[in-house]
Structure 1
């Protein structure tokens, strides 16, 4: 009898099943622990009927191999493919993938369309992921909201289960590798092989649905799709008056019937990226230049007005003019007193700045200060010299083996967030390669999960993460300066509370 999948079962003498987190017609998704690399992963276990077909297993294995080459922030990482022979001779086939935390776009759209800036950001990130796949000659063939995950770090394109090489013929005659009807390009119904333009059409459908809450041509079967394409009106976004014309244009171009009229995934990403950030800067940044001396502006502005006050062209008597001038003189005196007081307060504040500056000086972010501000311990001959403010650049080159006790490490989550932020900053600055940043973040997430759940002490995973930084530095994936900063930040995890 075939061994049933259940929590605790070990597949391929390596992957321990923890719990089932999803299911579909072709597979079941399990959360599992990789007991060799000690990390939590997702296992997509194929349905027994599919796993029994050697041809299908070979196709999935090749597709998993192709997907494993894709390293991109908005693509789900594929780690492994495995097969287990059960006692009755049946085969359990599975794909090992990156475990994600988030919400499917499909579920999100059940609440209605997204605000257009969010829909544009989702579309841009999916387009960037597709552009990366197309560069390697891979076509996804099933871009739908069910295969887009919304995570805290952006979207992730899922499931390359029916992906193929550009131009490869379809492997079946029933349309199972065509994709989901409402998202399939019209030329596919005529037997044309999948091309990058095929994915771009699906991306256009996805973007249209995210913006409006509906697909351009609703269909659940191939027959319904053919009928909708033949008789349905052309798609439009005219009911979204606030949508930038460029966004509407790129979406409708992606839905062109002729594949040659569609833009590339890279062109879609570029067009959408131009509208994924707010056009107006925050108001606070506009007010900043006027803040230093607010009392001076009205006093100086009104000081030039007195010559107009005594004018009698409007028919006033000389006495009225003199009375007005006297009143103006009193007001001017009061305003001058305010000005003098404001200048005095400003000068007093400036005089205090030199004495306050040392207490406000920020400490280096990459290494905790080892000397307290008061009552320092008596130095011993083996103590290193205390760092001085004259050489703050020496701190980044230090690589402490542990965090200094008493440093502001905070909780494990806070310390991990600091490490994650440093990884993000290095990625943005071009100091950390994309694939390296993704690898380090996966390792950091596995560390926090393992320690928070009590499955492992803190020191071993911290040591593994620091070693990974060293390895990636040797590969040229991290600049020496950022490797030093990351090592120091990771070392602080040892002092963090769980």
Structure 2
């Protein structure tokens, strides 16, 4: 995660935390890298002054923080502390080292089917815990997924919505990132866990394509496509395309649950790791035999028989290359799955 020096207007101390660097800024405020007296590092978000003066916002924000405290594990950045009564309310979460999914794909290119499925399975499992706590993230996107050494983490619950609470904006106003938020969010309709499933589907499509499945454009264009057009999944691995298309269904009722999604992605990750995906199981086309004169029936072996074995040697070399690629994919994916298994065993708690 990129860090920037503190600016002149930035505070140096918030609560009991000393601030060191800027991590970023968004619609709700500025996020800083801080540490407490014990050296524990945190990501601390300070709310914008204009929002801090809005009492309605403060009351809703307090409900969101209360809901965030209920989340346990779930591959999220754990809430460490908060002050809802400060002049500018703030909250601190566990600092998670590692690049965002957005930066990883931008720098290294799209992930493989096995890698995407493994990351997606962990995120879906994390959303199960989030939703069980009565919270909907509402802004799941590649930049809000951090790839830590212990597995992916979901961050930035700044606009999260707790079940039964009013939203942080007026009805009809979309909250979230165009291209990744669900159609019902654009329409101002009730937000449910299925909304996060849509966003996760778009995020995993980005991981394999390097772009939103709804392309690029102005906010208005992107919002229109989300509501009225089908996602463009050409280029998504065949093992993932049907599941991602189900996640991106316009109707929330047609999308899989987070539990179903987690189980299905685990199956795909395991199958792809063994080299049993659709691409691996498809037989290779036999090399074309060059035209030549036909031998009379009953004739003996043609001269130059050794030369006729060359097509088979080429096929054997191609098979060896495919086997090498499969073994490399298995090694990388198994390594990732082992890391995710360790994270799950530790309750998906990131490093302090």
Unaligned stretches of 5+ residues in structure 2: 1-7, 277-337
* Number of the residue aligned with 1:224: 221
User: Relative to total residues, which structure has the larger helix share, 1 or 2?
Assistant: 1
Equivalent positions of 1:99-498 (< 5 A) are: 99-111=95-107, 112-166=109-163, 168-173=165-170, 178-218=175-215, 223-229=220-226, 232=229, 234-240=230-236, 243-244=238-239, 247-277=240-270, 278-279=273-274, 428=345, 434=347, 438=349, 442=351, 445=352
CA positional deviation for 1:116 = 1.9
2: distance between equivalents of 1:230 and 1:426? Answer: 36
Distance 1:186 1:102, change over 3 A: same
2: distance between equivalents of 1:149 and 1:178? Answer: 21
Q: Does 1:5 align with 2:10?
A: yes
Q: SS at 1:41's partner residue?
A: strand
Q: CA contact under 8 A between 1:236 and 1:252: conserved in structure 2?
A: no
Q: SS at 2:73's partner residue?
A: coil
- Work out which of the residue numbers 13, 16, 40 in structure 1 matches 2:18: 16
The higher-RCO structure (CA 8 Å, 6+ apart) is 2
CA positional deviation for 1:63 = 1.1
Q: CA contact under 8 A between 1:11 and 1:84: conserved in structure 2?
A: no
Distance 1:50 1:177, change over 3 A: farther
1: distance between equivalents of 2:343 and 2:125? Answer: 20
How many matched pairs?
A: 279
CA positional deviation for 1:162 = 0.9
1: distance between equivalents of 2:170 and 2:138? Answer: 16
* Number of the residue aligned with 1:449: none
Q: SS at 2:99's partner residue?
A: strand
1: distance between equivalents of 2:56 and 2:199? Answer: 27
CA positional deviation for 1:174 = 7.2
2: distance between equivalents of 1:212 and 1:425? Answer: 28
CA positional deviation for 1:231 = 5.9
CA positional deviation for 1:75 = 0.7
| 1:384-409, Cα deviation, whole Å (9 max, x unpaired) | xxxxxxxxxxxxxxxxxxxxxxxxxx
Q: SS at 1:64's partner residue?
A: helix
CA positional deviation for 1:66 = 1.0
- TM-score between the two structures when normalised by the length of structure 2: 0.70
1: distance between equivalents of 2:194 and 2:61? Answer: 23
Q: SS at 1:119's partner residue?
A: helix
| 1:129-172, Cα deviation, whole Å (9 max, x unpaired) | 11111112211111111111111111100011111123644342
Larger radius of gyration: 1
Distance 1:17 1:219, change over 3 A: same
* Number of the residue aligned with 1:66: 67
2: distance between equivalents of 1:177 and 1:235? Answer: 19
Q: CA contact under 8 A between 1:167 and 1:194: conserved in structure 2?
A: no
| 1:251-301, Cα deviation, whole Å (9 max, x unpaired) | 1100111111100011111101112241159xxxxxxxxxxxxxxxxxxxx
Q: CA contact under 8 A between 1:170 and 1:177: conserved in structure 2?
A: no
Q: Does 1:34 align with 2:19?
A: no
Q: SS at 1:43's partner residue?
A: strand
Q: CA contact under 8 A between 2:174 and 2:187: conserved in structure 1?
A: no
Q: Does 1:96 align with 2:88?
A: no
RMSD after superposition: 2.9
2: distance between equivalents of 1:425 and 1:264? Answer: 24
Name which of structure 1's ranges 213-222 and 263-272 shifts more when overlaid on structure 2.
213-222
CA positional deviation for 1:95 = 0.7
Q: SS at 2:110's partner residue?
A: coil
Distance 1:261 1:140, change over 3 A: same
2: distance between equivalents of 1:59 and 1:226? Answer: 26
CA positional deviation for 1:60 = 2.1
1: distance between equivalents of 2:106 and 2:49? Answer: 31
2: distance between equivalents of 1:93 and 1:4? Answer: 17
Q: SS at 1:182's partner residue?
A: coil
Name which of structure 1's ranges 47-56 and 255-264 shifts more when overlaid on structure 2.
47-56
CA positional deviation for 1:219 = 5.7
Q: SS at 2:61's partner residue?
A: helix
Q: SS at 1:275's partner residue?
A: helix
Distance 1:227 1:97, change over 3 A: closer
Q: SS at 1:252's partner residue?
A: helix
CA positional deviation for 1:53 = 2.1
